[in-house]
């Protein structure tokens, strides 16, 4: 709502101002002796964070009158932006010379103001420690793209709980200690989309069914991608929880190392709901990222719904972000990371089901 001084000042000119943050001073209020004091009141008012002046046709035909009161009142501590309608170069030039932000379109003005208000100052980067075991696993990965078993070993070494797993070669009998139902997935660093290649079978109820499923996976994948190097079938106990999330790391060509948190599962690209930060991050930043992802509101206690083990999720984000300290990691991703209900404890609050690590190609 406009300050009382503005309401009183304009009422004296017969201009009624309501409670809207948009104030139309009309032609009667466009005179410098009115516009200037009104703008001064708005700039000193503690009830707003920024003032945007929208100048009409006078910006084009009377630039000396249109922007001079703005220039005289500008330059203080409060942000002041000016949008000229229509585009008026003769008004924008003196604004620029006075060090004031002038804009030619409403979109550019809105984007600039939004970016300014959302800006946060630089903070001291956290300094996590990358364990020697992580570096050793990355070095021993054996290629540019680590297969899922090798990738999950890296994430485990980072301190992220991973689903227990076994690797079966063609014709191997399932181990007797498996807890059913299980999922079976082709294990190959050459296959990005295992489901599309017929390389995934879920909810396998017993050992006999697992043996049949493994044979079917080898058959499907050899037909779909005959040149792929298949290391076996990865078998994992089926997992359930409150949500599936994606936690990723990328060495961006422009931004540098970044960590990503978003809604996970097979529909990740459709939702396009993610938070991104420069890596590495600390727990506080990871919790801020969780709060930004709209799809995770349902496991943050929204409207009395079951709350997830969010401390464990934040710890996983921090752990993945530590890959910024590793040499040669181009990309890494856990999708899905299953988030369990609150009360499971840090060691059981999340479980990584599927993982990927990409290394930079070594120069000859």
CATH of the domain at 257: 3.30.470.20
Residue 129 lies in a domain: no
Order of strands, sheet of 200-204, starting from the edge strand that comes earlier in the sequence: 165-168, 232-237, 182-187, 200-204
**Residue that is last in its domain, among 118, 152, 172:** 118
H helices present in the chain, as ranges: 4-11, 32-44, 58-61, 63-66, 68-73, 89-97, 106-118, 132-139, 148-157, 207-224, 268-271, 283-292, 310-321
**Residue that is last in its domain, among 201, 220, 237:** 237
pLDDT at residue number 201: 96
pLDDT at residue number 30: 65
H helices present in 158-199, as ranges: none
What is the pairing mode between strands 256-263 and 274-278? antiparallel
Give how many domains the chain has, as a whole number: 3
Contact 76, 43 (CB under 8 A): yes
Closest-CA residue to 259 (of 240, 280, 288, 245): 280
CATH of the domain at 197: 3.30.1490.20
Residue 149 lies in a domain: no
Query: Helix, strand, or coil here: 353?
Result: coil
Contact 249, 277 (CB under 8 A): no
pLDDT at residue number 127: 67
Residue 260 lies in a domain: yes
> Quick one: 179 and 260 in the same domain?
no
Residue 262 lies in a domain: yes
pLDDT at residue number 76: 86
> Quick one: 294 and 323 in the same domain?
yes
Residue 185 lies in a domain: yes
What is the torsion angle, in degrees rounded to the nearest 10, for the CA atoms of residue 195, residue 316, residue 138 and residue 167? -40
> Quick one: 39 and 91 in the same domain?
yes
Name residues of the chain where pLDDT drops below 70: 1, 13, 19, 26-30, 125-127, 141-143, 266-271, 344-347, 362-364
Q: What is the rounded distance in angstroms from the CA atom of residue 226 to the CA atom of residue 218? A: 10
> Quick one: 97 and 10 in the same domain?
yes
Q: What is the rounded distance in angstroms from the CA atom of residue 348 to the CA atom of residue 353? A: 13
Phi and psi torsions of 140, nearest 5°: -90, 10
What is the pairing mode between strands 165-168 and 232-237? antiparallel
For the question of whether the overall pTM of this predicted structure is more than 0.85, the answer is no
Segments forming the whole domain that contains residue 314: 243-359
**Residue that is last in its domain, among 180, 206, 237:** 237
Residue 125 lies in a domain: no
> Quick one: 250 and 317 in the same domain?
yes
Residue 188 lies in a domain: yes
Residues in the chain, total: 364
Return left, alpha or beta for 203; rule: phi > 0 is left, psi -120 to 50 is alpha, else beta: left
> Quick one: 229 and 274 in the same domain?
no
Query: Helix, strand, or coil here: 70?
Result: helix
Phi and psi torsions of 332, nearest 5°: -150, 145
Structure tokens at 269: 């690209």
> Quick one: 42 and 98 in the same domain?
yes
Residue 217 lies in a domain: yes
Burial 294-308 (b: 16+ CB within 10 A, else e): ebbeebeeeeeeebb
User: Packing angle between helix 4-11 and helix 32-44, nearest 10 degrees?
Assistant: 160
> Quick one: 272 and 184 in the same domain?
no
> Quick one: 355 and 247 in the same domain?
yes
């Amino acid at each position: 709502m406009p300050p009382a001084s503005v309401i009183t000042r304009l009422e004296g000119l017969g201009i009624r101002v309501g409670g809207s943050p948009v104030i139309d001073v009309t032609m009667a209020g466009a005179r410098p002796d009115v516009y200037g004091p009104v703008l001064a009141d708005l700039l000193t008012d503690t009830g707003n964070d920024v003032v945007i002046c929208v100048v009409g046709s006078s910006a084009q035909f009377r630039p000396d009158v249109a922007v001079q009161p703005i220039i005289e009142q500008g330059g203080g501590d409060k942000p002041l932006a000016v949008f000229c309608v229509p585009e008026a170069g003769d008004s924008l030039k003196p604004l620029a010379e006075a060090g004031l932000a002038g804009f030619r379109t409403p979109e550019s003005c809105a984007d600039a103001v939004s970016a300014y208000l959302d800006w946060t100052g630089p903070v001291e980067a956290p300094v996590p420690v990358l364990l020697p075991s992580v570096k050793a696993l990355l070095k021993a990965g054996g290629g540019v793209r680590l297969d899922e078993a090798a990738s999950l070993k890296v994430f485990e070494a980072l301190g992220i709980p991973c689903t227990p797993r076994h690797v079966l070669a063609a014709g191997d009998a399932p181990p007797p200690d498996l807890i059913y139902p299980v999922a079976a997935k082709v294990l190959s660093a050459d296959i990005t989309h295992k489901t599309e290649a017929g390389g995934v079978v879920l909810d396998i109820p017993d050992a006999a069914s697992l043996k049949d499923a493994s044979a079917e996976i080898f058959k499907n994948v050899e037909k779909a991608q005959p040149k792929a190097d298949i290391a076996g079938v990865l078998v994992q106990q089926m997992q359930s929880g409150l949500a599936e999330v994606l936690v990723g790391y990328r060495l961006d060509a422009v931004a540098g190392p970044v960590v990503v948190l978003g809604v996970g599962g097979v529909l990740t690209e459709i939702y396009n709901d993610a938070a991104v930060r420069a890596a590495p991050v600390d727990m506080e930043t990871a919790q801020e990222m969780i709060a930004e992802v709209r799809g995770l509101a349902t496991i943050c206690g929204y409207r009395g719904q079951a709350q997830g083990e969010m401390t464990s999720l934040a710890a996983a984000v921090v752990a993945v972000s530590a890959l910024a300290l590793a040499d040669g990691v181009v990309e890494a991703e856990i999708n899905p990371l299953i988030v369990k209900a609150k009360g499971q404890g840090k060691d059981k609050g999340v479980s990584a089901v599927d993982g990927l690590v990409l290394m930079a190609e070594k120069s000859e």
